[in-house]
Amino acid sequence: WQAEAPGKVFLEGQSNLGLSGKYLVVSGLVFRNGYTPTSTVISFRTGDDALANHSRVTQCVIDNYSRPERYDSDFWVHMYGKHNTFDHNSLIGKRNRGVTFAVRLNTEASQENGHIIEYNYFGPRQVLASNGGETLRIGTSHYSRTNSNSIVRNNYFDQCDGELEIISNKSGGNTFQNNVFYRCKGTLTMRHGQNTLVENNYFLGEGKPNTGGIRVINEYQTVRNNYLNGLTGYRFRGPLVIMNGVPNSPINRYNQVVDAVVENNLMVDCDNVQLCAGSDEERSAIPTGSRFANNVFMSQRNPTPFVVYDDISGITFENNLINEDVAPPQEAGFTQIAYSLSKNEEGLLLPSPEVLSQIGFENPALPVSKEATGASYYPKAEAEIAFASGKTIDVAPGTNTLLDALATSGPGDVLQLQNGGEYLLTKDLVAVHPVSIVAPAGDKATIRSSRPVILTIENEGSLALNNLAFDGSKSPDQPGNSVVSTSKYSMNRNYRLIVENCEIRDLDVNHSFHFLTVYRSTMADEVKLSNSTFTNVTGSILSMARETDDLGMYNVERVNISDCRFEKIGGSVAHIYRGGTDESTFGPIVNVQSSEFVEVGKDKRNKTGNSLRFHGVQLLEMEGCTWEDSAPLGLHLTNGEPRTNIRESLFTRSGLIEFNRLGFNAINVDFKL
């Protein structure tokens, strides 16, 4: 089955492909503009007993072939049978729940399979905000004590950010060799299974938040000759993580690390090497019989890169090198050397050849280039459309002139309003692509609407607002109005909302007039409020708490609030919610700086009872803020070792900090009557 011209045969709408038999070859197909009507796009079987063996899929593409409902699960590739090859394919932009590529072991005919997965391009995958966002999985917990013997080599993983586990190894005898992980959030995780080899892989984080490396769990794992650079993740997302296990672990939990070998690895400017990670009452089995030898750690980012959670006596440390001014986890087994790095011809930061020779890591080089992977005829990345990357459209003041201009705009365009101009909307203004609405420096342009929602972000849309005033005086006299709303329906594309230098006032024609309303199954990569004022609002500003099933889902990855003033706000300024105990996600991440909260959160309809409430936030940084005559700040810390820091802040005639447990830092925080 070969396309007459590679890349010219398109399978659209609801299409899928199954193959069974021996020595089959599928080549040159492109799946786009639709989604599978079954559970899989490409399957190496056509029935329970009709499997493919000794077969190959090559030079094929699956590009954003995603279900419209983000939490409706499917898989893009299911590999069954034995001795199959998947090579030189491009899998780009999966947006809904479900593993991108899964090797299945559910019958003996698919076990000890010897599959080869090589030279593929695993393109960007956005944050899912839920479990089920792995890029590659081999096995499941049910078959984790069965060998797969699959080989994953020479692949390029590009910004695969779906969840904590980029690769989830859940079977035995697998090899991960010569792969490149570029700016990927998460780790190559040996979640289940034993006798795994992780060798000569390159992890390039470039300082991107939550980029990780390798996580070691279970018995007889080998991690050697890997290069890790610029990785910032912590806890289970660290550059190198050795876990605690559960004594007599059930098959679906955490087996103890036994006889692991971690040797000849090079880590440059990485944070948070985690030893005995996950230690708690359940995960109390420390690593045993393991060897940690001939590794090099060079970092000026973090003076204490090692985090030890439990007894590390079961790990033998030998001949490891670490730069001066950095603390090793123990003195034995570590020698301190000068921090000295230089770039080679490929731009890799490396210590001296003498240091490399000491650990047997000579001539480091990327094992595979991006260009050498994937379908040769197809672009390598899903396009991320930047704000202000298109044309500028001047918009005259008047009724619905802004609506008319938006109808002519394209992705990345800028709608430029006049200073001091008055803009009235009598119809819904809907963003279906990234668009900026701005006024030049000077007097703000004012936008009013007679509709319940002024601006709606639909799937594929994002909004950047700058130097605008939003006035609620023309809004209908009814409860539940909003300045901005997401779609009422599932959005499988994450959106962005940027608000800078804006004035939001008099959202008080009726109760519960919100600035932002979100719905279930919607997800923001970022919401940013900067240098803006919010005054006389009967509802909330950012209530992003619609995923209340407590299954680990949430509505926003990053919230940034800086240099803003909130006055006479009936509801909460921010209600960010992530419930449940799932440990596979990254956020929410919240940063609140230099902002004022005056008479906030005291309306009887404010169900949170707080001026700001953060439930399950994984990283919260608040600094330089003041509260006056406002409701308390609410903190609900959950699992995942959240980091919560409140600094240099003042509460005057306001509620105190309410919390469910200790575990947060309050530094130079004062309270006055």
**In the predicted structure, residue 312 carries a pLDDT above the cut 90:** yes
**In the predicted structure, residue 278 carries a pLDDT above the cut 90:** no
Average of pLDDT values for 637-663?
A: 92
Of all residues in the chain, the percent with pLDDT exceeding 90 is 88
HSE at residue 88, side-chain half, CA atoms within 13 A, is 15
Average of pLDDT values for 112-133?
A: 96
Q: How far from the centroid of its chain's Cα atoms is residue 234's Cα?
A: 14
How far, in Å, CA of 257 to CA of 192, rounded?
11
Out of 263-272, 320-329, 638-647, which region has the weakest mean confidence (pLDDT)?
Answer: 638-647
pLDDT of residue 267: 95
Average of pLDDT values for 586-603?
A: 96
**In the predicted structure, residue 382 carries a pLDDT above the cut 80:** no
How far, in Å, CA of 159 to CA of 427, rounded?
39
**Within 10 A of 648 (CB to CB), how many other CB atoms are there?**
15
**In the predicted structure, residue 374 carries a pLDDT above the cut 80:** yes
**In the predicted structure, residue 673 carries a pLDDT above the cut 90:** no
**Looking at the DSSP assignment, which residues form a beta bridge with residue 334?**
320
How far, in Å, CA of 394 to CA of 455, rounded?
19
Q: Are 660 and 636 in contact (CB under 8 A)?
A: yes
Tell me the per-residue pLDDT of 39-83, one tens digit each, with 9 for 90 and over: 999 999 999 999 999 999 999 999 999 999 999 999 999 999 999
**Within 10 A of 112 (CB to CB), how many other CB atoms are there?**
15
pLDDT of residue 584: 81
Residue type, 240: L
pLDDT range class, residue 252, cuts 50, 70, 90:
confident
Average of pLDDT values for 137-154?
A: 96
Terminal Cα-to-Cα distance of the chain (whole angstroms): 77
**In the predicted structure, residue 489 carries a pLDDT above the cut 80:** yes
**Residues 6 or more apart from 444 whose CB is under 8 A from it?**
419, 420, 467, 468, 469, 501, 502, 503
Of all residues in the chain, the percent with pLDDT exceeding 70 is 100
**In the predicted structure, residue 383 carries a pLDDT above the cut 90:** no
pLDDT range class, residue 265, cuts 50, 70, 90:
very high
3-state secondary structure of 443: coil
How far, in Å, CA of 532 to CA of 527, rounded?
13
Q: Which residue in this structure is represented by tokens 């956005």?
A: 126
Tell me the per-residue pLDDT of 515-565, one tens digit each, with 9 for 90 and over: 999 999 999 999 999 999 999 999 999 999 999 999 889 999 999 999 999
- The reported pTM is 0.94
Residue type, 447: I
Q: Which residue in this structure is represented by tokens 């993983």?
A: 157
Average of pLDDT values for 571-581?
A: 95
How far, in Å, CA of 271 to CA of 298, rounded?
10
pLDDT of residue 60: 98
Q: Are 622 and 649 in contact (CB under 8 A)?
A: yes
Question: In a 10 Å sphere around its CB, with 0-12 CB exposed, 13-18 middle and 19+ buried, how is residue 563 labelled?
Answer: middle
Q: Are 467 and 497 in contact (CB under 8 A)?
A: no
How far, in Å, CA of 611 to CA of 569, rounded?
9
Average of pLDDT values for 396-412?
A: 98
**In the predicted structure, residue 572 carries a pLDDT above the cut 80:** yes
**Closest residue by Cα to residue 376 from 664, 59, 27:** 59
Out of 302-311, 376-385, 655-664, which region has the weakest mean confidence (pLDDT)?
Answer: 376-385
How far, in Å, CA of 671 to CA of 365, rounded?
56
**Closest residue by Cα to residue 294 from 344, 371, 247, 224:** 224
pLDDT of residue 386: 94
Q: Are 62 and 41 in contact (CB under 8 A)?
A: yes
Tell me the per-residue pLDDT of 88-116, one tens digit each, with 9 for 90 and over: 999 999 999 999 999 999 999 999 999 99
**In the predicted structure, residue 362 carries a pLDDT above the cut 90:** no
pLDDT of residue 161: 96
Q: Are 26 and 9 in contact (CB under 8 A)?
A: no
How far, in Å, CA of 263 to CA of 312, rounded?
16
How far, in Å, CA of 255 to CA of 191, rounded?
9
Q: Please give the biggest Cα pair distance in the chain.
A: 80
**Within 10 A of 548 (CB to CB), how many other CB atoms are there?**
12
**In the predicted structure, residue 125 carries a pLDDT above the cut 80:** yes
**Residues 6 or more apart from 352 whose CB is under 8 A from it?**
340, 342
**In the predicted structure, residue 640 carries a pLDDT above the cut 80:** no
Q: Which residues of 584-597 are buried (b: 16+ CB within 10 A; e: fewer)?
A: bbbbbbbebbebbb
**In the predicted structure, residue 498 carries a pLDDT above the cut 80:** yes
Tell me the per-residue pLDDT of 178-215, one tens digit each, with 9 for 90 and over: 999 999 999 999 999 999 999 999 999 999 999 999 99
pLDDT of residue 143: 92
Q: Are 652 and 598 in contact (CB under 8 A)?
A: no
Tell me the per-residue pLDDT of 430-467, one tens digit each, with 9 for 90 and over: 999 999 999 999 999 999 999 999 999 999 999 999 99
SS (H, E, C) 549-618: CCCCCCCEEEEEEECCEEEEECCCCEEEECCCCCCCCCCCEEEEECCEEEEECCCCCCCCCCCEEEECCC
**Residues 6 or more apart from 552 whose CB is under 8 A from it?**
130, 131, 578, 579, 580, 581, 582, 584, 585
What is the token pair recorded at 607? Answer: 């169900």
Enter the DSSP assignment of 258: B
Domains of the chain: 10-372 (2.160.20.10)
How far, in Å, CA of 171 to CA of 149, rounded?
8
**Within 10 A of 49 (CB to CB), how many other CB atoms are there?**
9
pLDDT range class, residue 248, cuts 50, 70, 90:
confident
Length of the chain: 673
Q: Which residue in this structure is represented by tokens 């390798």?
A: 214
Average of pLDDT values for 151-155?
A: 99
What is the token pair recorded at 257? Answer: 């690390």
Q: Which residue in this structure is represented by tokens 């033998």?
A: 316
How far, in Å, CA of 361 to CA of 330, rounded?
23
pLDDT of residue 381: 73
How far, in Å, CA of 205 to CA of 301, rounded?
13
Question: In a 10 Å sphere around its CB, with 0-12 CB exposed, 13-18 middle and 19+ buried, how is residue 14 labelled?
Answer: exposed
pLDDT of residue 251: 85
Residue type, 159: Q
pLDDT of residue 281: 85
Chain mean pLDDT for the chain: 95
